[in-house]
Amino acid sequence: MVLEIPTYMDVVTAKQRLLGHANITPLVRHDRLDKISGVNLYLKNETVQKSGAFKYRGAYSRLSLLTVRERENGVVAYSSGNHAQGVAFAARELLIAATIVMPCTAPLKKKQGTLLQGAKIIEYDPTTTDRAKLATDIAKKKNATLVPPFDDKYVIAGQGTCGIELLEQCAEMEVELDALITPVGGGGLCAGINLAFEQLSPQTKVYGGEPINYDDHAMSLRAGERFTNAPAPLSICDALMSPSPGKITFEINRKRLSGIFTMSDAQCLQAMALAKETLDITLEPGGAIALAAALSRPKQLKSGSNVVVILSGGNVDAEIFAMAETA
């Protein structure tokens, strides 16, 4: 099967589709975070995107291209939560029925947010069920359109709008970026940003942040091919527990990623606490992993350099956030 690899122009046209729909999210900073990290740190706050995470960008990008007949037949998606909410939110705006396949272990806040937008949830046991196969079977029965969480040309293009947007904001601030760190699960956000940066800021090094035991991108980069992690204990970074990179996303990311930082749950909790304390931003663990990476002072980031981190989402259950407050 020939992969449909998106291009920079796909990101540009996705940005046009999202005009008036997606929020333009702020680029913020704090002196204390600069002091801890040793770099000039800028934070792209996607927690104020619709649905509380960057995923709305890719979801609306994909759903807005459906034909009238496809919209009538509805969509099916599979997700641990943020893609679920992004699809549900976009589907409600476009008057499309949405069915979401979610693990029974998904955070309550993400389930509630999905239901609140009118989507139907079908739960599954992640230890025994292949979510992609389940969702594909349901879509076939319904004659609905399957909307993957990351391995889709138009989803990736939508996520890439975050990259164009933050570069425009950096230009307004007269900041030339030396590096960017983004959370990496299936790799859709990273791939979209790489498409934007390859064209607009090729000198900027792009890094990813992954949880320990879910470092499939790091392993894949070292192997030169897609690697699948062995079953591992659950991470609190529920949004980043994809077992392997996507086929399309890895084809893009392997050419541009400069490296991966693997972070512990404890480091993510500490980053969540600091984001709340300094900027009053509520992050979920996966949404904090890029910040955690920057705060760990990795040797790849030169002292005093200009670095952007993506705060990818803020949909967190109260008991998990309480863990951050005591970290």
Burial class (CB in 10 A: 0-12, 13-18, 19+), 81: buried
Give the pLDDT score at 231.
85
Same domain membership, residue 163 and residue 133:
no
Same domain membership, residue 75 and residue 39:
no
Same domain membership, residue 252 and residue 163:
yes
Domain count, the chain: 2
Residue 255 located in a structural domain = yes
Final residue belonging to a domain, choices 130, 147, 164: 147
pLDDT > 70 in the chain, percent: 99
Give the pLDDT score at 79.
93
Give the pLDDT mean for 217-245. 91
**Hey, what are 177's tokens?**
């970026």
Residue 2 located in a structural domain = no
More reliable by pLDDT, 232 or 15: 15
Residue 98 located in a structural domain = yes
Question: Quick one: which of 271, 276, 265 has its CA closest to 288?
Answer: 271
Same domain membership, residue 162 and residue 84:
no
What pTM was estimated for this model as a whole?
A: 0.96
Give the pLDDT score at 127.
86
pLDDT > 90 in the chain, percent: 94
Question: Quick one: which of 209, 223, 222, 308 has its CA closest to 264?
Answer: 209
The model's confidence at residue 296, banded by pLDDT at 50, 70 and 90, is very high
Give the pLDDT score at 80.
86
Asked whether the predicted pLDDT for residue 71 surpasses 80, the reply is yes
Give the pLDDT score at 288.
98
Asked whether the predicted pLDDT for residue 174 surpasses 80, the reply is yes
Final residue belonging to a domain, choices 147, 166, 196: 147
Give the pLDDT score at 325.
78
Question: Quick one: which of 302, 324, 287 has its CA closest to 55?
Answer: 287
Same domain membership, residue 173 and residue 311:
yes
Give the pLDDT score at 161.
98
The model's confidence at residue 224, banded by pLDDT at 50, 70 and 90, is very high
Task: Give 246-277 pLDDT, tens digit per residue.
Answer: 999 999 999 999 999 999 999 999 999 999 99
Asked whether the predicted pLDDT for residue 326 surpasses 80, the reply is no
Give the pLDDT mean for 42-61. 98
Residue 192 located in a structural domain = yes
Final residue belonging to a domain, choices 102, 117, 147: 147
Task: Give 83-106 pLDDT, tens digit per residue.
Answer: 999 999 999 999 999 999 999 999
Asked whether the predicted pLDDT for residue 1 surpasses 80, the reply is no
The model's confidence at residue 6, banded by pLDDT at 50, 70 and 90, is very high
Same domain membership, residue 258 and residue 130:
no
Give the pLDDT mean for 44-50. 98
Domain span at residue 113? 56-147
Give me the helices (H) in the chain, please. Answer: 8-18, 31-37, 55-63, 68-73, 82-93, 108-116, 131-142, 153-172, 188-200, 216-223, 247-256, 265-279, 285-295, 318-325
Residue 1 located in a structural domain = no
Residue 3 located in a structural domain = no
As a whole number, the mean pLDDT across the chain is: 96
Task: Report the CATH number at residue 234.
Answer: 3.40.50.1100
Asked whether the predicted pLDDT for residue 232 surpasses 90, the reply is no
Same domain membership, residue 115 and residue 31:
no
Same domain membership, residue 174 and residue 292:
yes
Same domain membership, residue 97 and residue 71:
yes
